[in-house]
Amino acid sequence: MHQPTPPFAAPDTSAAGRRTTLPSLAVSSAHARNRGSGQGQNLGPPTVRPRPGAPLSSAWSGTEPVTPRSAPSATPHRAGDLPPAHKTMIGVALPGLVISTEEGQLTGLGLEGFYRAGRRLLSRCRLRVAGREPVPSQARMTGAHRARFVGTLRTSSAPGPDPDVMVERTRDADGTERITLRSWSPHPLRLPVEVALGTDLADLGSIAAGRAGPALSASVHDSGLRWSGTAGGASVTAVPPPADALASAGLLRWEFLLPPGGSMSLELRVRPDGAGPLRAVGRTAADPLASAHATGDDPAVPALLRTSIEDLRALLLRDPAHPAGVHLAAGVPWRCGLAPAEALAAARMTLPLGTRLAAGTLRALARTQHRGPGPRSGMIPGPRRDTGPHLPPGCTGTEATLLFPVLLAEARRWGLCEHETQELLPAAERCLAWLRTTAGDGTYVPDPHPGGPVRCETQAHAHRAALLGAELLDDFGRPGGDGLRQWARRLRTSFQRDFWIDDRAGGRPAAARAPDGRLVPHLSAAAAHLLDTGLLGGGVPAPGLLDPVQTDRLARLLGNPAMDSGWGLRGLAEREAGYNPFGHRAGAVRVQETAIAVAGLAAAGHEKEAGSLLRGVVAAAGTFGHRLPEMYAGEQRADAGAPLPHPAACRPAATAAAAGVLLLTTLAGIRPDAPAKTVTLRPVRDAPLGELGLTGLRVAGAPFSVRVSRLGLAMVEEAADELQLGA
């Protein structure tokens, strides 16, 4: 029997022999802690110095640190704090963003403004009609990329409070804003219109660090205004052209005559110098995602799937050097670049929407793979990431390297063609070779940093990669499959003995083993990865690291109120030391891990626990307008309550949007084997959301539709002609 050890102490790796400190909550939750080159060289925990304006990792490259501008902040800004994003409305069509508040006016405060490729092109856009600002009436997102704001004005001298002018503003992430005035007056109205514009041309990292800099002076440019700075310039043009443009005040003016019941519109177009209109990947023929739809008894189901797919499309990026391939950015507003482990995880969860995203992601990351000699040969690089209060930061490069062959193997099962699989197979072989080299003669995959812990989550990733990778190698006549399976068997035997903490309640898996063999006992959402075994041929799940008794015990632990908040799976059990409902890995609900737990519990036959977590996330999604953030507070659900937003969470986030797809497709239990031309259905039998229909999915390159009845019976309604229903 193994006894737990106190919380794991991070090894001292700083140059001066100091103990490194973990990032503060706000920065960590937005993943600004992913410092280093992003290429795997920085394997030590990051040192966060508590000074104002500490560099924030680039929101657009996902790798290089941003150097904040030297201009002083207009307001006090504590180190590690981020401007709150949870009350903003974010339109996304990468590389374009527009961030607004529900008031509709862009005031230049906080994060507000139009962005292109991480630079704020316009921070202020204040509208006045007849000398007054419209009274805000309604604000809502009409799509992932567009927000609509409605205000009213009372311009007549007639008695009573009724407004007679409606002002509608549609603001798009592609850099356009359309302003429409509608008159309900019985008399003609002559309305002067003014729009005050301004910008600082600051980059998002500087804004987040509180060092955006002062507003720049404008000059008259064509039918609008232009600003220039050291990093380039931006302009706003208006259609129709303004009657007057005052550069000194940053002001455009019009005068419109509205007939009774009439309307008029003007459009503002925001562009960086030398750039044309934005063509986002998700709104072109390059979009790799199928247009799936959902129906069902639960009215939240169609909206969740629709919004998830819209958000995924909004987060698509094209590799400039290889425009044929696309991948997902990690999340908005903080991480609009490629984060390898999360891009792979999101592509894996969206395989029911087709395999093109998986192929593009794999190609993009194969180009970053270490090829030379040394211990990192075959590794997909990735930065360090905070992993909670009880463990030192982990290397996302390890996770990405182990996810690569898993995604390739499962994409092939969903329909990735043989040619594309063979093209990517050498990169997967290098990942598997790295796995065997790193494990060496031992049983476990160690932490990349010397003296680091042996992590439970890493062993789950490694075990799955070995089994799925072995089958992939066998299918293409490549050597190495038997060795990987033998190592996986040794790992299972040792893990069940070495990582299990016995107690009177039935035991629990350890979060990690310290170098001296002591166990870190804390129960976290990372344990859900032990249930994520992956898909082999014939729709058979791969074996897991736990034996059946241990799996049953883990399922009960994840379904316990200490972990199940009622809104999803907490990052750390409520009674654990260090629990914080807002801690991004210390108690907050992370949607990705909840979806992984739901899928794993359902596959293992623990449908009660899976259904409870699933219903919680679907209910939470409704309170967020069905646009799930990457995380929210793990406070216990109460009657008539709502989950508390995390002020620094990305929303939309790739893994959260992809989790919406995984949660719903898990209910149908679709297990394809395209090479064998079969598909097996293992639906969740108690149908926790009632009847469910999914249309427009993709299996074996063809449309696939399935319906699950209230009795938990599944029926295929559309599929490729050659597909046979497996037993």
Going by pLDDT thresholds of 50, 70 and 90, the confidence category of residue 518 is very high
- The per-residue pLDDT for 9 is 38
Residue 526 has pLDDT above 60, yes or no: yes
Do residues 47 and 12 lie in contact, with contact meaning Cβ atoms separated by under 8 Å? no
pLDDT of residue 156: 76
Region 34-57: mean pLDDT is 31
Q: Out of 218-222, 280-284, 585-589, pick the least confident.
A: 280-284
Q: Are 689 and 302 in contact (CB under 8 A)?
A: no
Contact 545, 495 (CB under 8 A): yes
Q: List the structure tokens of 595.
A: 């979806």
Whether the CA torsion 327, 331, 335, 336 is positive or negative: it is positive
Confidence check: pLDDT of 537 > 70: yes
Helix 418-439 to helix 356-366 angle, to the nearest 10 degrees?
A: 50
Residue 372 has pLDDT above 90, yes or no: no
> Quick one: pLDDT at residue 285?
74
Helix (H, G, I), strand (E, B) or coil at 432: helix
The mean pLDDT value for 521-527 works out to 95
Find, among 35, 85, 29, the residue nearest to 57 by Cα.
35
> What whole-number distance in Å separates Cα of residue 177 and Cα of residue 181?
13
Q: Which of 626, 621, 576 is nearest to 594 (CA)?
A: 621
| Residues comprising the chain, all counted | 727
| Mean pLDDT of the 641-667 span | 96
Question: Which class for 188: exposed (0-12), middle (13-18), buried (19 or more C-beta within 10 A)?
Answer: exposed
Whether 123 has a pLDDT exceeding 60, the answer reads yes
Band of pLDDT at residue 28, cut at 50, 70 and 90: very low
Model confidence band, residue 441 (pLDDT cutoffs 50, 70, 90): confident
Q: List, in order, residues 6 or more apart from 380 with CB less than 8 Å away.
A: 40, 340, 365, 368, 369, 397, 400, 401, 404, 431
- Band (pLDDT 50/70/90 cuts) for residue 281 is confident
Which pair of structure tokens corresponds to residue 5?
A: 């050890």
The pLDDT score that the predictor gives to residue 78 is 61
Alpha carbon of residue 220 to chain centroid: 40
Residue range 454-495, pLDDT digits in tens: 999 999 999 999 999 999 999 999 999 999 999 999 999 999
Q: Does 44 score more than 70 pLDDT?
A: no
**Residue 699 pLDDT greater than 60, yes or no:** yes
- Residue 264 carries which DSSP code? E
Can you read off the two tokens belonging to residue 73? Answer: 């902040």
Q: Which residue has the higher pLDDT, 468 or 321?
A: 468
Q: Which residue type occupies 152?
A: T
Rounded-to-integer distance, Cα 145 and Cα 313, Å: 10
Give dist(CA 638, CA 474) in Å, integer. 51
Angle between the N-to-C axes of helices 340-349 and 591-603, in degrees from 0 to 180, rounded to the nearest 10:
40
335 DSSP 8-state letter? B
- pLDDT at residue 238 above 50? yes
Residue 71 has pLDDT above 90, yes or no: no
Q: With a cut of 70, say whether residue 36 has pLDDT above it.
A: no
Output the average pLDDT for the chain. 88
Query: Rounded to the nearest 5°, which phi and psi values hold at 573?
Result: -60, 145
CA proximity to 405, closest of 493, 535, 318: 535
Biggest distance spanned by C-alpha atoms of the chain: 88
pLDDT band for 674, please (50, 70, 90 cuts): very high
Whether 590 has a pLDDT exceeding 80, the answer reads yes
- Quote the CA–CA distance of 520 and 3 in Å, as a whole number: 9
Render pLDDT for 167-187 as a digit per residue (tens, 0 to 9): 999 999 999 999 999 999 989
Q: What is the pLDDT of residue 618?
A: 97
Position 69 scores a pLDDT of 34
Residue range 373-395: mean pLDDT, rounded: 91
Mean pLDDT, rounded, for 559-568:
96
Q: Which residue has the tokens 């790295």?
A: 434
- The amino acid occupying position 364 is A
> Which range has highest mean pLDDT (199-213, 464-478, 508-522, 713-727)?
464-478
Locate all alpha helices (DSSP H) within 538-675, ordered by sequence. 548-559, 591-603, 607-623, 654-668
Average pLDDT over residues 38-51: 31
Q: Give the least confident one: 20-34, 132-146, 243-257, 695-709.
A: 20-34
Which residue type sits at 110? Answer: G
450 pLDDT band, cuts 50/70/90, is confident
Closest CA to 603 of 534, 672, 546: 534
Helices 300-314 and 654-668: crossing angle in degrees, nearest 10, is 140
| Contact predicate 370/495, CB 8 Å | no
pLDDT class of 80 with cuts at 50, 70, 90: low
What pLDDT is stored for residue 48 in this prediction? 29
Nearest to 570 by CA among 553, 594, 602, 538: 594
How many angstroms from the chain centroid is the CA of residue 182? 39
Q: How many CB atoms lie within 10 A of CB 658?
A: 31
Band of residue 79 on the pLDDT scale cut at 50, 70, 90: low
pLDDT in tens, 337-371: 999 999 999 999 999 999 999 999 999 999 999 99
**Whole-structure pTM value:** 0.88
User: In the beta sheet, which residues pair with residue 269?
Assistant: 176, 237
Peptide bond just before 240 cis, omega within 30 deg: yes
* pLDDT tens digit sequence for 82-118: 788 888 999 999 999 999 999 999 999 999 999 999 9
Q: Stretch 567-574: mean pLDDT, rounded?
A: 96
Residue 525: phi and psi, rounded to 5, are -65, -20
Q: In the prediction, which pLDDT does 209 show? A: 85
Residue pair 202/120 in contact (Cβ under 8 Å)? The answer is yes
Q: Are 340 and 368 in contact (CB under 8 A)?
A: yes
The per-residue pLDDT for range 615-644, each reduced to its tens digit, is 999 999 999 999 999 999 999 999 888 999
